[in-house]
A = this chain, B = another copy of it.
C-alpha cells in the first residue's frame, strides 16, 4: 500500500448476516470512498456475492480461509483452536501493518481476544474498552444527539486507573466522531454526590475532577444517562453491558407494555399504530448502523465491532468510520494523551 492509502481488514464471516451483508456493505464502501478493503473469509462465497454486487474491484482484496468463529463458540477456546478463523486472520493482517483498521460483526468476546492477540495495545494502556454509541434527549442542544458509553464489556471489573484511561480514550473518540473539541465526560454512579459508589468510584471522581484535559461534569445517575448531559459516560464493563442492553431492549418493551396495559383505550391504540413505524426507526437509531459500530479503544490500530445484526449499510459505515478514525490519527492522539497522563502528577494519587 502507498502512504496515502487507507486499508481496512474486514472479517467477512462474522455476524448474523455474514457473509452476504458484510460483503455487500464492503462493496458499497468501495463505491462511496477510496478506502481499500481486505475481505477475510471463504473466497468462493465472497466471489459469488461480489459477482452480483456493484463494487470497485481494485479496492478489494480477498484473503481466503475456510475457518470461522461463530456466536456459539466459547471465545477463549475458539481463539486457541481456530488460529485461521477469518476474524483472527483479519486481526493479524492489522497487527502486521497490512491494514490500518479492523472491522468484524462476529462473536464479541472472541473479537476482543483476537485483537488482543495480534494488535499491540497503545503503550501505557492497561485495559482496552468497548465503547457504544447511544441516542440521548440532547440536553446539550447539539446537532448530534448521541453519546458514548464505555466500557460495555471488554472487561468485567476495573480499577481506578483503568477508568481514568477510559475517560481519556472516550473523550478523544467522541471528539473525533462528534466533531466537538471538548466533549463532556461523566461517571456512571448510584448517586450524584462525589462520595457515592464505593472507594474505587470515589477515587476516579477525584482524579477526573483534577485532570485539566478532561471536561468532567461529575457523577451521572441511571435516569440521566439518556438525557445527553454528557458526551461520554464512563463505567465498568459489567455495569456498562447491563446499561447498554437495558437501553437496547427499551423501545421494544415500551411498545409491548403500552399495548398490554392500555389496550382498552382507543387513544392509546391509535397512538401505537401511528407510532409503529416510528418505533422501528427509533430502534434503528439505537443500533450501530448509522455510527459504524462500537470501537474497541486502546489498540494501536482502529478496531471496530459492528453489531451482530449488522446489515450492509452498517458495514459500509463501519468501514468508513474506521478509515476516518485512521485519517484523523485517533490512535496516535490516544497514545499521546495516555503518555501525558502516565507522566502526570495525578498518577501518584492512584497508588
Task: State the copy count for this chain.
Answer: 2
Q: Is A226 an interface residue (CB 8 A)?
A: yes
A265 interface contact, C-beta 8 A: yes
- In this complex, what residue of B is CB-closest to A108? B191
Contacts of A138 in B (CB 8 A): 260
Contact check, A243 vs B246: say whether CB atoms are below 8 A apart: yes
CB pair B249–A225 under 8 Å, yes or no, is yes
Q: CB distance B137 to A257 under 8 Å?
A: yes
User: Would A270 and B274 count as touching, CB distance under 8 A?
Assistant: yes
Q: Least Cβ distance of A285 to chain B in Å?
A: 6
A124 proximal to B (CB < 8 A)? no
Q: Decide: A249 and B223 in contact? CB cutoff 8 A.
A: yes
Check if A278 is an interface residue, CB within 8 A of chain B: yes
Within 8 A of B (CB), among A213-254: 221-227, 237-239, 241-251, 253-254
Whether A153 is near chain B, meaning CB under 8 Å from some CB there, is yes
With known contacts A223-B248, A244-B222, A275–B278 Cβ distance under 8 A: no
**Measured between alpha carbons, how far is A344 from B22 in the docked complex, in Å?**
53
Mind listing 29 A-B residue pairs with CB under 8 Å? A135-B257, A136-B257, A145-B260, A156-B190, A157-B198, A190-B237, A190-B241, A221-B241, A222-B244, A222-B247, A223-B245, A223-B246, A239-B239, A239-B242, A243-B243, A246-B246, A247-B250, A250-B250, A250-B254, A257-B285, A261-B282, A261-B285, A262-B278, A265-B278, A267-B277, A268-B277, A271-B278, A272-B275, A274-B274
